[in-house]
Structure 1
Amino acid sequence: MLHQIKPDFRTLLLATSALAFGVSAGGAQAQHAQPANIGGIEEIIVTAQKRAERLQDVPVSVSAMSGDMLEKQRINNADDIVSFVPNLQVTSTVGQGTPIFALRGISMSDYSLNQAGPVATYYDEVYKGNFAILGVAMFDLERVEVLRGPQGTLYGKNTTGGAVNLIARKPGFETEGYLTAGYGNYNRYESTGAVQTGLGDKVAVRMAYSFAHANGWFENLLPGKPNLDAVKEYGLRGSVLLQPSDKFDLTIRASTSLQNPYNYGILAQPGPDGIGAGVYAMFGGHDYFRTGLTDRQLEADYTPRRHNRTYALAATANWHVADGLTVTSVSSWDKGNLFMAEDTDGSPLKVLEIPYYARTRQIAQDLRLTSDFSGRFNFILGGYYNREKVFNSTNFMIYQDVDINGDGVLNYMDCADGLEIGIPACQVKNSFDQTKTSYAVYSDLTFNITDSLTLRGGLRFTHDKGVLANFISQAIGVDNVIVANLIPGSLTDLFATTGEQYKKSNLSGKIGLDYKFANGNMIYASLSRGYRGNSFNAQAFFDPSELSVAKPETLDAVEAGFKTQLLDRRLQLNGAVFWYGYKNQQFIDVDPVTTAQRLVNLDKSRIIGGELELQARPIDTVTISGGVGILNSSIRKGVLQEEDLKGNKLANAPTLSLNGSVDWMAVEAEWGSVNLHADGNYSSSQYFEVFNKDRIKQKAYALFNARASFRTADDKWGLSAWVKNITDKFYYTSRIDVSGFGFDYNHLGNPRTYGLTADVKF
């Protein structure tokens, strides 16, 4: 293995040397520049390191987007974040609004509703691990931050891949607000708004909401059935800021959201024997071939609404206990229910239909002490507790319209006889209770060796405990008569249950150096280890051997980067290169023939790559942003389904990703202003699975969006016209080989959408 790894380190070291030379040279030139003026790049303050800092002062790879930038690029759900972050991808196997992020090739292919991915999502520092509690949150945001790499020494929940932070606007004491309303194609109408005021000089409140409704764009040609991929949702958030003194503040947020649209549609592409894989022909019927349909049409007979209800309560307190010392407490409670049912075969047949259900409750407490001394040494010391309880149920409804025994009746006997011949015309339903508890203590330390050179480090100790209880999988007839207990596999008790559990402790950490030049430009390097805890397999259905506990993931990361502002702050250039050693990646391995699903670990992988992000303001009326991400992933050791995967690429890891945008203040006059915005993003080809099947990979594609807006001179009124996916590009967001049922399973990206939005500020 050493001779294979050495070239990766050599590449990394050469790139790091080049970056260091370029930044130091740029710094030497910039020392003669004039002081920054108002024509420079907008500064973004981030809290990526749990301190309010300029983005350019943070020695980690982080992308940040202000609320104004989110509006211009019309980013109104978490899936859209990928359009501005290099090396960030998303799969939507469980539908839009519940994204599964992949960052620098670190991803999760498990779509089970009991799982939490290696890229964590935080709302106002509250970890939202489970799909059922994510809800509607992309409204009234101050900014979004995306941190790459392990985050264990600073963030409450340890993750291997990174973190996506959504930060809502805090209440202010000024009385103000805004209201937007819009209309678009697919009969989309939407509105967002917020209002805030001070109740005296110590209490401020803010209320915000979001609402959207749109018809489905996936045209369902089956008579009486609705179009799919619709939108019907709202979110409410109330915030209270208590600031009794300059030494203490408390922000309390309460929110709720509801999604209740017709669910996503599945493009099921038939194999040579059609959807059904010849089973219908075997029993005197006809398999299905999607004859005469376009790629955005289907004939789905199973179309229940998606239902996702969330409730959340969080309290964040900051107490300046002494000069240079602050205690921060983040307490939270979350509750969510998620029901989503898909017509997996996308046809009028009942080859495979799957309703998923999860009910989740979570409580969490993050408590930390932060120093802000004037000396050389500072620290963050913290403790974290998280307890998550999930009830999960999934039902594989297989061949519910096939008369296996030919008696002219569809009932439990078709299930029993089908099991005998390997064609289970059954409902195969499992359910279980899962409880996960995590305790952690963490530290982040900085020591200024000189005024320019800083040593950083931190450790984290984590103890995880998981209990899976009341697990049962049953084969049930179409008439709901129970036929067999499949897991635990009792021959005498149809209602027998089983369980699993684990306990695991882990020590991980980070060490790094950063050097800041006299002009403020920076280079940095770090070595870190990330950890993701054990997981239970929610997709165990047919055999007790499928019920397993996946081992924890670990990620060793080496990273080096730079942050620069040049040309009187009119040019900002940030970049990083990295090497990852990835062990025991967890993912669902789907057998395409039997659809048996095992939760497994992939032994070893290697990822090298980098990002380069640019912002430029060549003239005061034009702002240009762009980014490029490069990945080279390779499986070093792993055998699945008796196939050696060595040398294959990881899933959701395209070699090249690009994004860019241009903002032009085209007109500024006494009567108002006109702003033109255009943006786009490109992704090279990628695989959605580790077997690297060319048949179901996503080819390279690019998406383009635009917006034109008018504002009155007093900035009170505005009107904008927007369009997304201008070229109406057809592309996939996830694909799975289920050829055992005669088709490939595909989620699709959104088609072209457009509309008008008006707003008023008060």
Structure 2
Amino acid sequence: MTTLRSALSRGAFAALLTGSALALSAPALAQEGPAVDGQAAEEAGEQGGIQDIVVTARKRNETTQDVPVAVTAISAATIQKYDLTSLERIAASTPSFVVGRSPSGSGATLVLRGIGSNTTSIGLEQSVAVIVDGAYYGQGRTINEGFFDLGRLEILKGPQALFFGKNATAGVVSITTADPGDRLEVIARAGYEFRAHQMVGEAIISSPLTDTLGVRLAVRGSKMNRGYFKQLGTDQTYPTLDRTSTSQVVTPTNHVSGPAGDGRSEEFYVRGTVKWEPTDQFTATIKANYGTNKTDNPAAASVYYNCPTGKTAGNPAIPCARAFQSSSNRFPSALAASVPYANKDGQTGNQYKSWAVNANLVYEMDNVTLTSVTNYNWNRNIFQFDADSVSRSGAPGVFASEWSTFHAFSEEIRALTSYDGPVNLMVGGYYQKTKRDYLAWTASGGLENSSAPQPYQRYLANSKDSGTDGKTVAGFGQVIYKPVDRLELTGGVRYTHETKDSYFLQPYSHPIRVTQGIFLPGQTIVSNQSFDDWSPEVTFSFKPTSDINIWGAYKTAYKSGGFSNSGILSPNAGLPDFEFDPEKARGLEGGIKTMLMDRQLRFNVTAYTYKYTNLQLDFFRSDIFAFTTINAGSARTRGVEVDFEFAPRALDGFDVHGSVNYNKSRYGNAIGAPCYAGQTRAQGCNLVYVDDGTANGTARPFIAGTDTVANRQNLKGQSTANAPQWTATLGMNYDARLPGGLTLGMGVDARYSDSYLASAFGNPATRQGSYVNLDATLRLRTEDDRWELAVIGKNLTNRWYATGGTDAPNTGSGTGGTTGVIADQIGFANLPRTVMVQATFKY
């Protein structure tokens, strides 16, 4: 394997050199072609040759080949072709991009090139920013949004702070929804997915009302009648003891709980757009959307996949397996009747609701374009789940519910000049105000207290109340200098000032847990944080011919510091255990983008190296069900990415495309990182944490005879989470014209991933092996596009893989000692094989 990887590494760099030589020696083959967007690009490709897609990676319209950014642009037609209607589906088809869904905490992790935030703290913001119609949606729960009826989608890799602000240290996913067109458009679409018995429907109507005013209304709904994951749970007993001290002798009360749901869901989304162009200079686009997403088990995809005994520690009848199966239980009826926000029938679930309004105003003067983007977005998430994710009997069972809301208002104003001279400018300002409210309740340990101050606290072990109010003010500017026609140099900087005011309180903790020193109720800790950052960026772009672009960039980025709203306060914890500092990035990126063979071949190569400092990590201690958020040292990610597309004019409607990506993402000096459960001193858990009153504390070597156990490690040299060293894609499309005005379209795309660790803490038990997944589509449509019948297959190899994970609660032992038992591993699994039939009618 080492030899193969070495050969592949040499091959990647050889490809870089070969590609550069081909590009520089082929100006006679280059031919200028018009830039088009989304659907037009798809149609142009069917005529042979390759057309560019217009992107807004630098807040101005540029083609994918001209912009000095590593960008993957996905057209509206491709999104529809493969039903890429969620970030998870997009990630499953995109190399170096990983999305993992979590039942709690932040709700998800988004990873690009091996850099991302783990999921266990709701206070951690994503390292990959999600931008919708120019506005920032940075929360992990964003994956619950319905992304359909899109104009295009762009994945910008690497730090993107200058134009997109904080929390874009790893990259940006920029989503542009469809606008009204200049003609009446009516679309009706219905689909049926066989594995989940899912019914999907969409309806879109778009029409100009006058010469200057257009509207568009898009609606999508779906309902699953069976989950993607088999539910292995059975009826179990949860015994409770009504007492406030372990010395009391009482008779247990047995509560029976049935199996939880299998993950079936239903969703509804609606979006309305009004576009007004009263003059050639002014355009106003107003969008409003509303959505709901419900599932009967948020932990259905939480799979026990690696356990020391091959069985789950909580229930030996439940096997550990890399299979599309999980087990958990609903709330016992007595708990369901009292725990806040528990479903009254005890069923687990997740209920997500959101709405947003976005106003985009553009005023184009002769040499200056003014843009304003105003956005307000709100979401609420309520979940109920079996928090140890295993169907088991006994007091160790954990049942949790949560209510959280997030509000964000933002305003961005920018000006871009377009003078004929060599110098142009972009300047802008940004303001954002956010508010997070978080409430949580946990029943565990068989604890009961009929004398609790409030009836709803009777079965609680602990409850939490936390919130954060945030404000961000930023200014940014860029100088664009073109000393000659084919050379562009730019330099810019973004200044960010941010404040976060937070609090945390545990209103109630069971007296036994207080006596044991696990919880400290009734005490409020308050945090007032302020951050300032300068993020500069410099780029160059040189085009020796119109179809060759040699580019490079120096970039920096800043990820917000903050407060861990979902932490736990104990007598041994304090404010430093909740606060964490900003994460920063800086480094170099560059490459060559080419169109060769009369624009029949696109061949691009990118190389990069970035260093990340003060990495934000959140750790779940499985033995005591506690959370710790820290800044852990540094990491470096470096690699080479090669992508190509070949669309021969001699074979109309055919193209083949692919990519090969090498990425090495490793921790630098990361002293003080928590040890994974069961990690021994010989395995690297050989440092002792020393609280110095800061968020990070210090760590010193373990001293035999003085220290009982160690509790920290240095992650230096370990891989970051979800960072395969090699990924690759290969696919083809062919549209064949049939008699009678019909077209038969076929497409197949394969994605390969090398092995990787699913954990951020170097746990070898979380290693995911290499895999290949396969997507395919078959379409029959009329020449005028009035109707289309399609079959869409995803993950046809039915390969299971983890996109993140955590140690299972109440498992693992011996951490920091001479011997240890690794915790059972829970993986956030991908979706299994799905096959959908879909009919589309257009007018």
Q: TM-score, normalised by structure 2?
A: 0.80
Are the counterparts in 2 of residues 311 and 335 from structure 1 also a CA contact under 8 Å?
Answer: yes
Are the counterparts in 2 of residues 460 and 509 from structure 1 also a CA contact under 8 Å?
Answer: yes
Of 22, 25, 28, the residue aligned with 1:28 is 25
Matched, 1:337 2:380: yes
Do the aligned partners of residues 528 and 291 (structure 1) sit closer, same or farther apart at CA in structure 2, a change above 3 Å counting?
A: closer
Matched, 1:502 2:529: yes
Do the aligned partners of residues 245 and 40 (structure 1) sit closer, same or farther apart at CA in structure 2, a change above 3 Å counting?
A: same
Matched, 1:755 2:836: yes
- Could you say what the CA RMSD is over the residues aligned between the two structures, in angstroms? 3.0
In structure 2, the partner of 1:580 is 610
Distance 1:591 1:253 in 2: 43
Matched, 1:537 2:564: yes
Of 308, 313, 327, the residue aligned with 2:357 is 313
**1:561-572 mapped onto 2 (5 Å cutoff):** 561-572=591-602
Are the counterparts in 2 of residues 331 and 365 from structure 1 also a CA contact under 8 Å?
Answer: yes
Are the counterparts in 1 of residues 190 and 839 from structure 2 also a CA contact under 8 Å?
Answer: yes
Distance 1:691 1:149 in 2: 22
Distance 1:216 1:713 in 2: 37
Distance 1:337 1:289 in 2: 37
Do the aligned partners of residues 473 and 376 (structure 1) sit closer, same or farther apart at CA in structure 2, a change above 3 Å counting?
A: farther
Of 189, 193, 210, the residue aligned with 1:180 is 189
1:226 offset after TM fit, Å?
5.3
Do the aligned partners of residues 34 and 732 (structure 1) sit closer, same or farther apart at CA in structure 2, a change above 3 Å counting?
A: closer
Are the counterparts in 2 of residues 132 and 310 from structure 1 also a CA contact under 8 Å?
Answer: no
Are the counterparts in 1 of residues 658 and 730 from structure 2 also a CA contact under 8 Å?
Answer: yes
In structure 2, the partner of 1:407 is none
Query: What one-letter code is carried by the residue in structure 2 that aligns with 1:432?
Result: S
Distance 1:174 1:84 in 2: 33
Structure 1, unaligned runs of 5 or more: 1-10, 278-286, 403-409, 415-424
Matched, 1:687 2:757: yes
In structure 1, the partner of 2:61 is 52
Distance 1:199 1:208 in 2: 17
Of 640, 643, 646, the residue aligned with 2:716 is 646
Do the aligned partners of residues 676 and 18 (structure 1) sit closer, same or farther apart at CA in structure 2, a change above 3 Å counting?
A: closer
Question: Aligned with 1:43: secondary structure?
Answer: coil
In structure 2, the partner of 1:300 is 328
Do the aligned partners of residues 269 and 183 (structure 1) sit closer, same or farther apart at CA in structure 2, a change above 3 Å counting?
A: closer
In structure 2, the partner of 1:614 is 644
In structure 1, the partner of 2:656 is 624
In structure 2, the partner of 1:143 is 152
In structure 1, the partner of 2:404 is 358
My pick for the range that moved more, 91-100 or 715-724, is 91-100
Query: What one-letter code is carried by the residue in structure 1 that aligns with 2:749?
Result: D
CA deviation digits over 1:28-66, x for unaligned, max 9? 323245665942113211111111111111011111000
Are the counterparts in 1 of residues 128 and 172 from structure 2 also a CA contact under 8 Å?
Answer: yes
Distance 2:14 2:307 in 1: 51
Are the counterparts in 1 of residues 155 and 172 from structure 2 also a CA contact under 8 Å?
Answer: yes
Are the counterparts in 2 of residues 149 and 557 from structure 1 also a CA contact under 8 Å?
Answer: no
**1:264-413 mapped onto 2 (5 Å cutoff):** 264=298, 265=300, 266-268=302-304, 271=307, 287-291=314-318, 295-302=323-330, 303-320=347-364, 322-345=365-388, 346-349=390-393, 351-400=397-446, 410-411=448-449
Of 90, 104, 107, the residue aligned with 2:113 is 104
Question: Aligned with 1:171: secondary structure?
Answer: coil
Query: What one-letter code is carried by the residue in structure 2 that aligns with 1:570?
Result: Q
Query: What one-letter code is carried by the residue in structure 2 that aligns with 1:327?
Result: L
Are the counterparts in 2 of residues 79 and 97 from structure 1 also a CA contact under 8 Å?
Answer: no
Distance 1:274 1:40 in 2: 53
CA deviation digits over 1:605-664, x for unaligned, max 9? 211112112111132221112122211122121122322221111111110111222111
1:217 offset after TM fit, Å?
2.2
Are the counterparts in 2 of residues 488 and 497 from structure 1 also a CA contact under 8 Å?
Answer: no
Structure 2, unaligned runs of 5 or more: 1-7, 34-43, 236-257, 331-346, 453-458, 674-710, 813-823
Question: Aligned with 1:651: secondary structure?
Answer: coil
Are the counterparts in 2 of residues 177 and 194 from structure 1 also a CA contact under 8 Å?
Answer: yes
Distance 2:13 2:326 in 1: 51
Do the aligned partners of residues 97 and 244 (structure 1) sit closer, same or farther apart at CA in structure 2, a change above 3 Å counting?
A: farther
Query: What one-letter code is carried by the residue in structure 2 that aligns with 1:750?
Result: L
Are the counterparts in 2 of residues 487 and 497 from structure 1 also a CA contact under 8 Å?
Answer: no
Matched, 1:71 2:80: yes
Are the counterparts in 1 of residues 126 and 167 from structure 2 also a CA contact under 8 Å?
Answer: no
In structure 1, the partner of 2:826 is 745
**1:477-492 mapped onto 2 (5 Å cutoff):** 489=520
Question: Aligned with 1:496: secondary structure?
Answer: coil
Distance 2:77 2:156 in 1: 20
Distance 1:378 1:13 in 2: 41
Matched, 1:236 2:246: no
In structure 2, the partner of 1:190 is 200
In structure 1, the partner of 2:682 is none
My pick for the range that moved more, 249-258 or 78-87, is 78-87
Distance 1:589 1:190 in 2: 38
CA deviation digits over 1:348-375, x for unaligned, max 9? 4352333333111110001101111222
1:205 offset after TM fit, Å?
0.3
1:158 offset after TM fit, Å?
4.9
Are the counterparts in 2 of residues 84 and 627 from structure 1 also a CA contact under 8 Å?
Answer: no
Matched, 1:206 2:208: no
Q: TM-score, normalised by structure 1?
A: 0.88
1:270 offset after TM fit, Å?
8.0
Matched, 1:513 2:540: yes
Matched, 1:636 2:679: no
1:244 offset after TM fit, Å?
0.9
In structure 2, the partner of 1:420 is none
Distance 2:99 2:526 in 1: 32
Question: Aligned with 1:244: secondary structure?
Answer: coil
Distance 1:33 1:379 in 2: 30
Are the counterparts in 2 of residues 119 and 164 from structure 1 also a CA contact under 8 Å?
Answer: yes
Are the counterparts in 1 of residues 49 and 647 from structure 2 also a CA contact under 8 Å?
Answer: yes
Query: What one-letter code is carried by the residue in structure 2 that aligns with 1:457?
Result: G
In structure 2, the partner of 1:219 is 230
Are the counterparts in 1 of residues 592 and 604 from structure 2 also a CA contact under 8 Å?
Answer: yes
Distance 2:534 2:127 in 1: 17
1:143 offset after TM fit, Å?
0.7
1:378 offset after TM fit, Å?
1.5
Question: Aligned with 2:25: secondary structure?
Answer: helix
Distance 1:487 1:298 in 2: 29
Do the aligned partners of residues 114 and 177 (structure 1) sit closer, same or farther apart at CA in structure 2, a change above 3 Å counting?
A: farther
Distance 1:674 1:166 in 2: 29
In structure 2, the partner of 1:422 is none
Do the aligned partners of residues 578 and 678 (structure 1) sit closer, same or farther apart at CA in structure 2, a change above 3 Å counting?
A: same
CA deviation digits over 1:62-103, x for unaligned, max 9? 110001011222211111222343321222224899642111
Are the counterparts in 1 of residues 216 and 273 from structure 2 also a CA contact under 8 Å?
Answer: yes
Of 586, 601, 615, the residue aligned with 1:556 is 586
Distance 2:433 2:439 in 1: 20
Of 133, 145, 160, the residue aligned with 1:124 is 133
My pick for the range that moved more, 682-691 or 327-336, is 682-691
Do the aligned partners of residues 181 and 12 (structure 1) sit closer, same or farther apart at CA in structure 2, a change above 3 Å counting?
A: closer
1:461 offset after TM fit, Å?
0.6
In structure 1, the partner of 2:554 is 527
CA deviation digits over 1:571-618, x for unaligned, max 9? 111221111111011010223433321111121221111211211113
Distance 1:428 1:488 in 2: 8
